[in-house]
Amino acid sequence: MMREPARCKDVDSLWEPFRRKVERLLERLRERGFDPVVFEAARSRERQEWLHGFGRTHHKGSKPVTWTMNSRHLAGKAADIISKSRRWNWPEFFKALKAEAARLGLVTIPQEDCHVQWGG
C-alpha cells in the first residue's frame, strides 16, 4: 500500500493574494468565536496523486478523497480549514466559514465543507 505523502498546513505555502484572504478569513472566524486552523494548504503533485487514488488504487472500498487531479491546492490557490477543537464536527463553524469566505470573494464547494479557493 502506498504511504501517504506529507500534508502541508503552512499558510505561507499559499499563493500570496490568496494567502492574504485566507489570513483575513481566519481572523474573521476567530472574531466570531471559532477556532479555525488550516488543515491543508498547498499540495504537492505526489500528494494529489495519492489523494486521487484513495478508494481507487489504494484503500479499496473507501470513499474517494478527491475527484480531480487538477486541484487548486497544487497552485496554492485552495485551502482546507477546520475547527481545531471539533475538527469536521461543527456545522455552525462551516456555515460561518462559507459566509465569511463569500464576503472575501473566495469560493466554496458543496462537496467539501472545509474547502475554500481563489475565486478567479
Domains in the chain, CATH or no CATH each: 11-117 (3.30.1380.10)
pLDDT value at position 22? Answer: 98
- Consecutive sets of 10 residues in the chain, 120 residues long: mean pLDDT of each? 84 97 98 98 87 58 58 91 96 98 95 89
What letter represents residue 46's amino acid? E
pLDDT value at position 111? Answer: 83
pLDDT value at position 55? Answer: 47
Share in percent of the chain as helix, strand, coil (round to 5): 40, 20, 45
**pTM attached to this predicted model:** 0.86
- The answer to whether 34 and 115 have CB atoms below 8 angstroms apart is no
